[in-house]
Structure formats: C-alpha cells, structure tokens
Amino acid sequence: MKEQISFLLASNNPKKQKEMGDILAGLGIQVISMAQAGIDVQPEETGATFEENALIKAKAVCRAGGLPALADDSGLAVEALGGAPGVRSARYCPGTDWDRLEFLLKNMENVPEEKRGAKFVSAVACAWPDGRTAVWRGECPGVLLQAPRGQGGFGYDPIFYLPEYGQTFAEMSQQLKNKISHRARAMEQCAAGLAEQIKTAGK
C-alpha cells in the first residue's frame, strides 16, 4: 500500500482544499488546511509576481507546521490595463468581489471588443522543511465582457468569457471549470512535478 504523505495548504478555503486534494490524491498526498493543522499565519504578500507571493505563503506555512506546504496565488491580468489588476486582483479596490468587478468594468468602459483580452494566472508553490522549493504556473486566456453573465464562480468569473466554450467562468459547470482553469493547469504541472519527486525519493 502506498504510504500517505501530508502536505499543508496555505489556505482555509474548503473549495480550494478539495480541488487541490482531488488532483493530488492519486499520488498518495493528503492535503491538510491550516485550520486542521492548528496553524494561524498570515504572511504579507509583498511579491511583485504570482510566483513570489505563492512562495512567500508556502514557506511561511511550511515553517509554522514543519511539513511540506502548498500555496497558490492567482489573479486576472488584463492586456489593456498593462496586466492589472494582476497580483492585486483581490485588493483591486476596497469592498466586495462585486465592487472589484464593477471597478474593473468602469476602468474598461471605453476599451473596444478587440482589445479586451485577459488571462487568469495561477502560480502554485511548494516548500519543503529541508529548504527545497518549486513553483508551477498555469494560464487561461479569455476576453472581458462589458456586463456580467452567469450565477456561478466568484470574483471576476461573471465577466471572464471563453470564446471556444461560448461561456463565462460563471456560466460554466464546476467540473469543466476545474478541468480547464488556470489553477487546474498549474496543479497538473504540480502533480507531475511532485510525482517525479516522490519517485526519485523512493529510489
């Protein structure tokens, strides 16, 4: 029987824990939230890139819990805004997710359809107690609509449209979103990287 390996997740978001846990379960990896491990650290996300912020979180949780830790940092990069809101996606303006969505739409008010390209980006980082680190990046390109569509998802999902599927992230089934999203793409690479590490360690 495959030995189970525990990884701490630098988040208490149950949806994120399930999504990452499902992907890594096949490797014999159990993903534990900070709350389950009794850890309460809130590292300041001072990085200039998604990769830097994911590493800051993974290292802090790894240090606090003494186990390998996973963290992700993700956001929306809009071409017409020079990559903004980027790493500030969750802090783009004060208020709720909806306030941030409306603020983004206002900033995109006079941008024509052909210049409304955007991409969701996710960086997944892993930190080990022995000091090793690794980071993987996933991207999902799309277009920003001028008005929200759909009831699902969260954040900027209702205005993020994928032409090849004819839907926004908020209109899409969770199963499909989990398969094609930026986080899913980063996690696929993460799973492949961790599988290689486990194989090497077992030799």
CATH code of the domain containing 31 = 3.90.950.10
Whole-number average pLDDT of the chain:
92
Beta strands in the chain (DSSP E): 5-9, 29-33, 69-78, 117-127, 133-144, 160-162, 167-168
Whether residue 14 has pLDDT greater than 50: yes
Q: Which of 40, 72, 73, 130 is catalytic?
A: 73
**Six token digits for residue 153:** 């998802």
**Six token digits for residue 65:** 């819990």
- On the question of a cis peptide bond just before residue 85, with omega within 30 degrees of 0, the verdict is yes
- Number of structural domains found in the chain: 1
- Cα-based distances in Å from 117 to 9, 20, 179: 31, 28, 21
Per-residue model confidence as pLDDT tens digits over 16-52: 888 888 888 888 889 999 999 999 998 989 999 999 9
Whether residue 155 has pLDDT greater than 60: yes
CB atoms within 10 A of CB 75: 24
pTM, two decimal places: 0.89
Q: Of residues 132 and 13, which shows the higher confidence score?
A: 132
- Cα-based distances in Å from 142 to 148, 154, 170: 14, 16, 13
- For 194, the domain range is 5-201
Residue found under tokens 């071409």: 79
Residue type, 116: R
Ordered strands of the 160-162 beta sheet: 29-33, 5-9, 69-78, 117-127, 133-144, 160-162, 167-168
pLDDT at residue 156, rounded to an integer: 95
75 has which bridge partners? 121
pLDDT band at 1 (very low <50, low <70, confident <90, very high): very low
Over residues 134-163, mean pLDDT: 95
Lowest mean pLDDT across 21-30, 101-110, 124-133: 21-30
C-alpha–C-alpha distance, residues 37 and 189, integer Å = 26
pLDDT at residue 203, rounded to an integer: 45
Whether 99 is catalytic is no
